[in-house]
Homo-oligomer: A and B are copies of this chain.
Amino acid sequence: MFMITLTEENYIKAIYHLGKQGHEMVNTNALAEAMNTKASSATDMIRKLAEKDYANYKKYKGVSLTESGKKIAVNIIRKHRLWEVFLVEKLNFTWDEVHELAEELEHIKSKKLIDELDAFLGHPTHDPHGDPIPNKDGEMTLVEKTLLSQAQINMKYSCLGVNDSSSEFLQYLNNNDIGLGAIIEVMHIEPFDKSISIKANGKLLTVSQSVAKNLYLKKI
């Protein structure tokens, strides 16, 4: 029996996210930070994952996922994002409320559950934050995304998603009527602090550089 623990799953997911879909090496400190734990604990877990062949590990050189590790990560992400869609579409949650709850739900182990949920939701392709949902086979459609911080002046964009999905950031967006699909036009970029004046759904608004770095757009 190949038992995989909750904690192992969470480390695998963190390695996947930190290493850009699991391709780059992730260093121990970054992983420990992401897991809210200490480097020594991360080292222990990394060894265990390598032992079980979910991760590639060379001492002092960082960690990356093996194919089997990536498969696990993608499956968890699929579950996470499907649950998010469910919560928002069916249970009246808002996009800033779903992340933590989905972190719990993503660990429920049942293939049938997730496939039926997928069908029940009409096989959605993106979650409420604009992130793509992997299909049964782990494939997902990667869309060309531009950060608002790199958008061109006088161009029109639509809002595709966010990078940081903390509720603070999402609530900031809510307060300014920016959601998925919002129409955003870049009016002016202030050279001094790189803050950006935009027209969002018709309303004028100036956003800081750090906001701009967390908002994904698509040219329209």
Contact = CB atoms under 8 A, between A and B. Distances in A.
A209 to B, nearest CB: 34
A196 interface: no
A60 interface: no
A51 interface: no
A200 B110 CA distance: 33
B109 A104 contact: yes
Interface residues of A, number: 17
A116 B101 contact: no
From DSSP, what is the main secondary structure of chain A's interface residues?
helix
A101 B113 contact: yes
A176 B176 CA distance: 59
Contacts of A93: 112, 116
A108 B105 contact: yes
Nearest to A101: B110
17 contacts: A87-B113, A90-B120, A91-B113, A91-B116, A91-B117, A91-B120, A92-B116, A93-B112, A93-B116, A97-B112, A101-B108, A101-B110, A101-B113, A104-B108, A104-B109, A104-B110, A105-B108
Please provide the 7 A-B residue pairs with the shortest distance between their CB atoms, ordered closest to farther: A91-B116, A101-B110, A104-B108, A92-B116, A91-B120, A90-B120, A101-B113
